[in-house]
Chains A and B, each alone.
Chain A
Amino acid sequence: MKGWRSARVPLIWAALALAIGVPIAFAAASEQLAWRGPVYILAGFAGIVALGLVLIQPLLIGGYLPGLSAYRGRRAHHWIGGALALAVVIHVAGLWITSPPDMIDALTFASPTPFSPFGVIAMWAIFAVALLALLRRRLGLRLRTWRIVHIPLAIVIVVCGVVHCLLIEGTMETISKAVLCAAVLAATVKVMADLWRKRTLRGERIPG
């Protein structure tokens, strides 16, 4: 028991580092990179990093990462949310530069690739959350209202982001990609379930 307790902290952080680091390492070793230009490579990795950040977000806000106070976890959640929006901008801009007609098709939901609309929907949900988070204080949104807005958008980001990623045939290795996607889904389900339980315990009615 004591051994587990002392090993728990580094193990959780190591698991997180592996969940994100291994898919990135596999992608960095992909033979596909040899046939891609630097901008396309950057755009692809921005997408992979974005998926990794989507894993960190529920872990931070749920307080599952040991050694972080609730306050620091929330602060980190805000900053990583901003980094996520930036990663998506780099992803889209890089793909636009690589092949403008393909990116325009995707953004206008006219793409032949089934994964594109999922990515575009996730992108708009990420931008919406980032914008609302920036304006939250100015708009005077209370926690309850904020959650009504953020939780559904977070679910959209996670589900659409995961589907987008799984359907793509690119530099990511299949198994490590699937494991990362499963971790993202599991972390999201966990934080949603905990929010739900807390609200039932307190007897509050926080819709959404």
Chain B
Amino acid sequence: MTIVVLSRRSLLAAGGAVLATGVLTNGVSSLLPPARADGLAPTESMTGGANNYRKGAAIVDRIGKGGFWMSGTVRRAGDGAPLAGQRIQIWAHTVEGQEHEPQSHGATLTDKDGAFRLEMPQIIPIFGQPHGHLAYDSGEFKTVFLRPIMRSAKETSLEAHFVLQPA
């Protein structure tokens, strides 16, 4: 039993290591360009981040009945200044609907500290990974799609952070 769990973990770890290597490589290469060699690098869109995106989700107090918290920050590339009033769109496969369905989508605005927090229904695994989707797609800055993964399907919150660069 232990061996079984370990082998699953080591496989996950191996997959994670591959992902981490990719992230590190990307991180390093995006840090290197001379223009922002000494500044905060912009966040790159994640692979698959835009899947099942519906443009223009309404700003809501809560998606559905809630029970799960999506939170994060939005900052400006270079100096890292918090960006207030930025619209972040959030969607996921939850206990109340599939990713593509309208009721699974909502948007919120960042506060004066550039932080956002939106309650939504519990995210559940879809396509083999419990994950959420977030988008910044308002035009002032370059569009970014994120696809953070939950450590475990039992978690009741998830974070994602944006560093935006001018469009």
Seen from chain A, the residues whose Cβ lies within 8 Å of a Cβ on chain B are: 32, 34-35, 37, 95, 98-99, 101-102, 105, 110-116, 163, 166-170, 174-175, 178-179, 182
Question: Chain A contacts of B105 at CB under 8 A?
Answer: none
B 16-52 contacts with A by CB, 8 A: 18-19, 46-52
Contact of B15 among A34, A35, A114 (CB under 8 A): A114
Q: Write the B135-150 contact mask toward A (1 if CB under 8 angstroms, else 0).
A: 0000000000001000
Contact of A170 among B7, B11, B19, B125 (CB under 8 A): B125
Asked if B1 is an interface residue, CB under 8 A from chain A, the answer is yes
A178 to B7, CA, bound (A): 9
**Interchain Cβ contacts under 8 Å between A and B, 7 examples:** A34-B95, A35-B124, A99-B98, A102-B52, A112-B129, A166-B8, A178-B7
Q: Take A101-B51, A101-B52 as given contacts and tell me if A35 and B99 are in contact as well, using a CB distance cutoff of 8 Å.
A: no
A55 to B57, CA, bound (A): 46
Question: Chain A contacts of B95 at CB under 8 A?
Answer: 34-35
Asked if B167 is an interface residue, CB under 8 A from chain A, the answer is no
Asked if B93 is an interface residue, CB under 8 A from chain A, the answer is yes
Q: Is the CB of A112 within 8 A of B100?
A: no
Asked if B126 is an interface residue, CB under 8 A from chain A, the answer is yes
A114 to B7, CA, bound (A): 16
Q: Which residue, B93, B94, B129, has most C-beta atoms of chain A within 10 A?
A: B129
Q: Is the CB of A167 within 8 A of B12?
A: yes
Q: Is the CB of A169 within 8 A of B4?
A: no
Q: Is the CB of A178 within 8 A of B4?
A: yes
Contact of B51 among A37, A105, A116 (CB under 8 A): A105
Q: Take A95-B127, A99-B51, A112-B147 as given contacts and tell me if A169 and B153 are in contact as well, using a CB distance cutoff of 8 Å.
A: yes
A168 to B12, CA, bound (A): 9
Q: Which residue, A163, A166, A167, A169, has most C-beta atoms of chain B within 10 A?
A: A169
Asked if B128 is an interface residue, CB under 8 A from chain A, the answer is yes
A182 to B51, CA, bound (A): 34
Q: Write the B81-116 contact mask toward A (1 if CB under 8 angstroms, else 0).
A: 000000000000111001110000000000000000
Chain A residue at minimum C-beta to C-beta distance from B152: A169
CB A91 to nearest CB in B, in angstroms, measures 12
Chain A residue at minimum C-beta to C-beta distance from B128: A168
Question: Chain A contacts of B124 at CB under 8 A?
Answer: 32, 35
Q: Is the CB of B129 within 8 A of A102?
A: no
CB B130 to nearest CB in A, in angstroms, measures 6
Question: Chain B contacts of A169 at CB under 8 A?
Answer: 125, 128-130, 153
Question: Chain A contacts of B12 at CB under 8 A?
Answer: 167
Chain B residue at minimum C-beta to C-beta distance from A162: B11
Q: Take A167-B12, A174-B4 as given contacts and tell me if A113 and B128 are in contact as well, using a CB distance cutoff of 8 Å.
A: yes
Question: Chain A contacts of B51 at CB under 8 A?
Answer: 99, 101-102, 105
A99 to B124, CA, bound (A): 15
Question: Chain B contacts of A34 at CB under 8 A?
Answer: 95
A170 to B48, CA, bound (A): 19
Chain A residue at minimum C-beta to C-beta distance from B12: A167
Q: Is the CB of A114 within 8 A of B52?
A: no
Q: Take A99-B52, A169-B130 as given contacts and tell me if A112 and B47 are in contact as well, using a CB distance cutoff of 8 Å.
A: yes
Question: Chain B contacts of A114 at CB under 8 A?
Answer: 15, 18-19
Question: Chain A contacts of B52 at CB under 8 A?
Answer: 99, 101-102
New A-B pairs, 7, CB < 8 Å, besides A99-B52, A102-B51: A35-B93, A98-B98, A110-B48, A112-B147, A113-B127, A167-B11, A175-B4
